[in-house]
Amino acid sequence: MHDSRNPRDPRDPPAGQTAPPPPPARRRRPSLQRVLRRTHLRLAVSAVVLAALSLSVVAWVALRAYAENNLLLVGRSLAYTAEAAVVFGDRVAAHEAIALIANDEDVVQVRVLDARNAQFAMWRRPDGGTLARVERAVADIALPGPVTLPIRHDGNVVGQIEVQGQGKQFFVFLMSGIGGVLACLLVTFAVANLLAKRMHRDIVKPLRALAEVAHAVRRERAFHQRVAATPIAEFKELGDDFNALLDEFEGWQNHLRAQNATLAHQANHDPLTGLPNRAYFESRLAQALAEAGELGTHVALLYLDSNRFKDINDQLGHDAGDAVLVAIAQRLRQPLREGDLVARLGGDEFAVMLPGVRQTSNAVRLAQSLLASMEKPIALPDGGELVTSMSIGIALYPTHAGNASTLLRVADSAMYQAKRAGQGTWHVAESPKG
């Protein structure tokens, strides 16, 4: 019976188990410049705030004492002014007397009490709106309460006067202090920004330059790069040590490159003659044939074999045979053009590749030149001399073959035909029969 329900996903957890929570999102780490700037701002703001709080507390204590003394002085002046009105019971005169003085002082209310502690006269400053109410609320919290002074006449207490401060001066001081703190904070932010830029130049910038060089070395192996000198002693020492480490790495890199180049040369060249070996020659020949096929050009191949080389080796020794091979290699190099390639295929067999030839006669002329160069005597290690000769087979791409292996085989066969015809001769491969 076909189950129409959704098949279970193999990635789902087993029954009875909950899926593991997803990995937490990778949190981006803050930069050094941001950490230094944030720390500097915190220190600067904390210092400004603490200084402002300290100054505010000191100023508040001093202003509170000043306000209390000021209220006492105003109260004495009002008590002296209202004395006569209280003695004669003139309430109107008492109100006018206290109003004359209170209007010019930082007071909000003045009450005159008689000897029985009953209200005799009262003056209150008119309501000035929201700002006045805010000033009054601040004064009630920060300033001392109303002061009470006796009214004396001939040494006897005839009444009392109660003076309550308005707090306008304190409110102005408070607003000025807040404005000063805000101004200091703005100046602090501006100075902190300037110092942050200097820190970026003196601290963050050298570290960033060091990090950029390290990234370039890690990603691009750019061991030639160096860290510039900085005025800070610790960073200079760090940069010098890092540059010294890069010097060692660069030396190791150059040494490895030289070793790799040597190994590559040894893998592709014959150790005796210094000529490319068979594997390298066949690779270059295949590449040349592919390019010639695209361009519609020809490539000539000369296959060379030294005559009587086995007799030289057997009769005169291997040193003499090696000397003959080295001399042949040198003479094969001389008439070649830039882009031509000569190689030792093995034993006494050599090959010359001529890309871009137009016709077989060009290869024939080179073969004749090479045969003529072999007529000069070859110096042997024991001081003697000998003359050797070569047999050369010539084949042309694409006339005689369409690929590298066939072209080599055809040229080799042509070389054997030249050898049968006589020493020191050349032979062109026959065109394949259609």
- Our answer to whether residue 348 is catalytic in this structure is yes
Residues listed for the chain? 434
Distances (CA, A) of 296 to 121, 293, 351: 127, 5, 23
Residue 203: both structure tokens together: 């601290």
167 near 143, Cβ under 8 Å?
yes
Cα 305 to Cα 370: distance, rounded to the nearest angstrom: 12
DSSP state, residue 95: H
Check 340, 348, 382, 412 and give the catalytic one: 348
Cα 198 to Cα 206: distance, rounded to the nearest angstrom: 12
Q: Which residues pair with 164 in a beta bridge?
A: 109
Cα 262 to Cα 269: distance, rounded to the nearest angstrom: 10
DSSP state, residue 424: T
Cα 186 to Cα 282: distance, rounded to the nearest angstrom: 79
DSSP letters, 125-155, are: PPP--HHHHHHHHHHHHHS---EEEEEEETT
Helix, strand, coil shares of the chain as percentages rounded to 5? 55, 15, 25
Cα 150 to Cα 160: distance, rounded to the nearest angstrom: 4
Residues annotated as catalytic are 348
